[in-house]
Amino acid sequence: MQSSVRWSRKRWPGPEPIAKPLIANLGQPQPPSPSPTINTVQQTLADPREQGRAARPPLDAPAPLRLWHLASLDAPTVAVTWTMGFAWAARIRLPGWVPALVALTAWTVYIADRLLDALRGLHSGDIHRLRARHFFHWRHRWLLAPLAVAAAIAAFAIVFVLMPPGAGERNSVLAAAALAYFSGVHSGRSLPRLRFPAKEFLVAVLFTAGCALPALTRLRAAGGHTLPSWPLLVLIAFFAALAWLNCHAIERWESPGLARRPSRIFAAGCLLGLAGLMLAVVFGHQQPRPAALITAGAASALLLALLDRGRSLLTPLALRTAADLALLSPVLLTPLVLLAR
């Protein structure tokens, strides 16, 4: 031991370079000297899978899907899908202008909603509430605003030319409810603006009503080969819960304050999915079409639950796009629709 010390002193520099930092740090708390063997072993035994997850960037959506969401084309797609699904479950054949009217109305409403959100956020300085879709709409407002006006004019033309008078009166109630929603959400300081979860609940109810109203209003007039009203009402209530879960999940994922809190979206999605599967079993024998559509909705709820569990693997834009893609599960029933013809 002594010989090794003497050998080290021969190789080390003189005492002054070592003494100066020691004297300068005298009186200050010194961290414990690390053990070279323990630290080396800890760094060596680090789990390479954890390091790979930390270094792996989140997945982004493909460019067409990003445009599909950013341009507000997701809402009319989901609306038309479930409108046709409700009609198929009720054994009702809708005229071609109905899905066109639903798509034009939904696209107009969502473009207007996002432009107004962007306008309010930019003028008030509350930019942290704006998302990529709001900035996209504001950046391309000179294109999207005229397109929304043109879509609204086309929708009004369909209403006045092709829609029966009785259906127009019933749809006026839905239009009044949508107008009340806009006045509550985008009002000035004179009216209190709706807050979460009131806004998400109203969006789910209005969206469900717009999708279900074409089939519901034609149920009695279609004759005796249609679906009884109560299975369709159960189906509509289930879709309203699914639409609310979609809005609720998006609100939590996109809000930094809510995202850090414990989330119940996974549990809610699993519970709603299991409830849908149980309803499908109940309806399966006597009402196979509502059972099939509820099964598709249950798959959507389970997909939202899985998205909540793996949301850290996706970018915010990809997560938001995937949440709307999950609602397109009735498209999987297309083979059944073709076989039933």
Task: Give just the sign of the alpha carbon dihedral 120, 121, 123, 126.
Answer: positive
- pLDDT tens digit sequence for 17-41: 444 443 344 444 455 544 444 444 4
Helix (H, G, I), strand (E, B) or coil at 326: helix
Distance CA 151, CA 143 (A): 12
252, pLDDT greater than 80: yes
Distance CA 1, CA 130 (A): 69
- pLDDT tens digit sequence for 148-201: 999 999 999 988 888 877 665 555 555 555 655 555 554 444 334 445 456 788
Average pLDDT over every residue of 250-269: 80
Q: Looking at per-residue confidence, does 184 or 286 come out higher?
A: 286
Q: Mean pLDDT of all residues in the chain?
A: 78
54, pLDDT greater than 70: no
- Mean pLDDT check: name the lowest of 50-54, 258-262, 300-304, 317-321: 50-54
- Would you list the domain boundaries of the chain? 64-340
How remote is the C-alpha of 65 from its chain's centroid? 13
CA 40 vs CA 36, 48, 245, 322: distances in Å = 6, 15, 48, 43
DSSP assigned state of 29: P
pLDDT of residue 119: 92
Distance CA 153, CA 136 (A): 23
User: What one-letter code names the amino acid at 53?
Assistant: R
- pLDDT tens digit sequence for 93-119: 889 999 999 999 999 999 998 999 899
Q: Is the peptide bond before 197 cis (omega within 30 degrees of 0)?
A: yes
Helix (H, G, I), strand (E, B) or coil at 219: coil
- Mean pLDDT check: name the lowest of 14-18, 47-51, 296-300, 305-309: 14-18
pLDDT of residue 259: 55
pTM confidence score: 0.77
- pLDDT tens digit sequence for 6-16: 444 444 444 44
Distance CA 331, CA 289 (A): 14
- Mean pLDDT check: name the lowest of 46-60, 92-106, 301-315: 46-60
pLDDT band at 284 (very low <50, low <70, confident <90, very high): confident
